[in-house]
Amino acid sequence: MNGQVKRAFRYRFYPSEAQAVELSRTFGCVRQVYNLALQARTEAWAQSGERIGYEATSALLTMWKRTEELAFLGEVSSVPLQQSLRHLQTGFTNFFAKRARYPRFKSRKKSRASAEYTRSAFRWRDGALTLAKMVEPLDIRWSRPLPDGAMPSTVTVSRDASGRWFVSLLCEDPGVIPLPAADSMVGIDAGLDHLLILSTGEKIGNPRHEDRDRTTLAKAQRALCRKQKGSNNRTKARIKVARVHARIADRRTDYLHKITTRLVRETQTLVIEDLAVSNMIRNHSLARTISDAGWRQFRQLLEYKASWYGRDVIVVDRWFPSSRLCSVCGALTAVMPLHVRTWTCVCGATHDRDVNAACNILAAGLAASVCGAGVRPQRNTPGGQSATKQKSLRCEPQESPLSQGKQVKRGTPDRSG
C-alpha cells in the first residue's frame, strides 16, 4: 500500500455562534440542491426518457442561483453544493449498476446534516482548519494526532441528531501498511448470548450496550411523547432521546473496533458467515437484540481493516447449515431448534452448537479458497441417504465436514460492506 491508503480522521468540534449559523445554512442549501437535482433528473426521465448527468445539473445550479426564489444558494460556499451533485451522480451510478436502490429525497428532520469541502474551500495551516465563508478556524478537539505531514484532501462537517458537531478529515496515512504474514486462521460465528464464537473455542461476550441504558431511554421517550408537536420543549426532549442513542452507539462502535483490530492483527485468514441482518430483524422477539449486536457493522469494520493490513476475509454462503453439521463425521441433522445449545451426533461426538458452527464455517471457507467459489457438494443425512440431489465437483473432499455444505463464496474486502 505504501502510504496510498486514504483514511478519515473524525473529531468533535465546538463552533461559535456565527459558525453554527453559517454551517446550518450550508446544510440546508446542500439538501435543497440535492433534492432539486434529483427532481430534475427524475422528471427528465419520466417525461422524455432523457438521462441527465452531473454536468447538466451543475448548469442547472447556476440557473437556480440567478432566480429570485433560490438566490440564497449563492450566499454559501459553492463547493458543498457541487459536492452534493457529485454524490447524487454516485447514487445514480450505483443504482444503474444494481448496487443500490433509486436515490431518495433528503428530509430536513431525518437526513444527516453534512457538507463536504474540497481543498479549494478550506485552509489548513499549522494545524488550524478554516472553512470557506468563515474568518476564524474551527475549535477542534484533537483526540488523536493526524499523520505527520498530513494534508487533508477533503473535509466533511456534520451535525448528529443529538446536536454534536463533527469534522472528518480525509488524508493519506503512511502508517497503514500490510502486517507480516501469519499462518493462523479462524472461523467466526455470530451469536446473541455471545457476540462472536471462534473456531478456537473462544467466546467473545456480548455487552448488550442497549440494556444498560434501556430504562433511561424509555424514560426519555415517554417524556418526548408527552410534549406538544412543534414546541420548543419537544425539541429539547428529542435531543435528550438522541443523546441516549448516541451514547449507546458510541459504546458499540468502540467495542467492535477493539475486537476487529485484535482479530486482524492476530489472524491471517478470517472466515465469516453472510448474514441477512435486515431479514433477521423481522423476528420481533429478537429484533432489539440483533440490532444491538451490530453484526453488519462488525463485518464492515473487519473487511476494510483486513484490506488495509493484508489479511484475507472469506464469506460463507448464508444457507450453509453450519449449526446442524457435525464437524467430525459430516452428518447433517435435519432439525435443530434455537434452544438446543449442545447436541450429540450419531457418531458419538458431543458439540457445543456455536463452536461447532464456527469450525464448519472455517472448513467451508478454506475449501472455497482452494476449490474456488461455487462448491456444491453432495449433502447427506445421518442415515446416509441423499437429502437433496446436487452435483458434486471434483474438488469435493470426500470425508470432511464440507461434504455436507452448500455454496460458499469468497468475499472481497470492501469498506462499504
Backbone angles phi, psi at 317, to 5 degrees: -55, 140
Q: Is 354 a catalytic residue?
A: yes
d(CA 401, CA 344): 15
All three cell numbers of 177: 501498511
- Give the three-class secondary structure for 339: coil
Please report how the helices 78-96 and 54-66 are oriented relative to each other, as an axis angle in degrees rounded to 10: 140
d(CA 345, CA 292): 33
- 232: which residues sit within 8 A by CB, 6+ positions away? none
| Strand pairing class (165-172; 6-13) | antiparallel
Q: What angle do CA 99, 102, 106 make, to 5 degrees?
A: 120
| Catalytic annotation, pick one of 116, 172, 273, 303 | 273
Q: Is 202 a catalytic residue?
A: no
Element at 123 (helix H, strand E) = strand 122-125
| Catalytic annotation, pick one of 189, 210, 292, 317 | 189
Long-range Cβ contact pairs of 347-350 (< 8 A, separation 24 or more): none
d(CA 362, CA 78): 51
Q: Is 273 a catalytic residue?
A: yes
CB 175 within 8 A of CB 184: no
| Catalytic annotation, pick one of 116, 172, 210, 354 | 354
CB 168 within 8 A of CB 112: no
Instruction: Supply the residues annotated as catalytic.
Output: 189, 273, 354
